[in-house]
Amino acid sequence: MQFILLIGFVGCSSGVQPEAPESRLEIQSAYFTGVEHRFLASADHGLVAPENVAIVRGLCPRIEEAVYRADKGKTGQIRLMGENLNRIETLSVQDGSGRFLESVVHREDDGSVRFALQCTSCRLVPGFRFGERVVGCLGPGYSLRLLGGQLQLD
């Protein structure tokens, strides 16, 4: 009789949904390593001229904190907090397959931005408008990597 009651108790407790796995990354200082040109809106434009790279660098949105929350399968959401995030138009999601995927920006009331993702291992580069094209900045504090659902510096 005790065995049956224990099974009933275990069956009831298994209905509780655990909180979604979360990965958090705080970035103390940024280090610019380059400009990303591969965005859908910039497909017809060439590279940023070398004399304009310093200007792009000065305009880069700066990531100070990122939180990734996994959903089911390969889906999840990432939330970015930092400086100049109002400039972000899209997020380049590079999963290593050669495809160029982008995620739409969702702006939060607190100034942070949120994106839906369909990968658990990918490079994430926020894109912003520079003239006629969309570009992104690379390096710690500007772009991120998601490896196995864990955030890392790029």
Cα(first)–Cα(last) distance of the chain, in Å? Answer: 57
The pTM of this model reads 0.84
Radius of gyration of the chain (CA): 19
Domain 20-153 falls under CATH 1.10.760: no
Per the DSSP assignment, residues forming a β-bridge with 103 are: 91
pLDDT above 90: residue 10: no
**What is the distance between the alpha carbons of residues 20 and 73, in angstroms, rounded to a whole number?**
12
Q: What is the mean pLDDT of residues 41-70?
A: 92
For residue 140, give the nearest of 128, 129, 125 by alpha carbon.
Answer: 125
pLDDT above 80: residue 69: yes
- Residue 44's pLDDT is 76
In which band, very low, low, confident or very high, does the pLDDT at 8 lie, cut at 50, 70 and 90? very low
Give the model confidence (pLDDT) of 109-152 as tens digits.
999 999 999 999 999 999 999 998 999 999 999 999 999 999 99
Segment holding 54, helix H or strand E: helix 53-59
**What is the distance between the alpha carbons of residues 75 and 72, in angstroms, rounded to a whole number?**
6
- Residue 19's pLDDT is 60
DSSP assignment of 83-144 equals: ESGGGEEEEEEE-SSS--EEEE-EE-TTS-EEEEES-SSEEEEEEEEETTEEEEEESBTTBE
Domain ranges of the chain: 20-153
For residue 131, give the nearest of 11, 48, 20, 33 by alpha carbon.
Answer: 48
CB–CB of 90/127 below 8 Å? yes
Of the ranges 36-40, 43-47, 84-88, which one carries the lowest mean pLDDT score? 43-47
Percent of the chain's residues with pLDDT above 90: 71
Q: 131: Cβ–Cβ under 8 A, 6 or more apart, which residues?
A: none
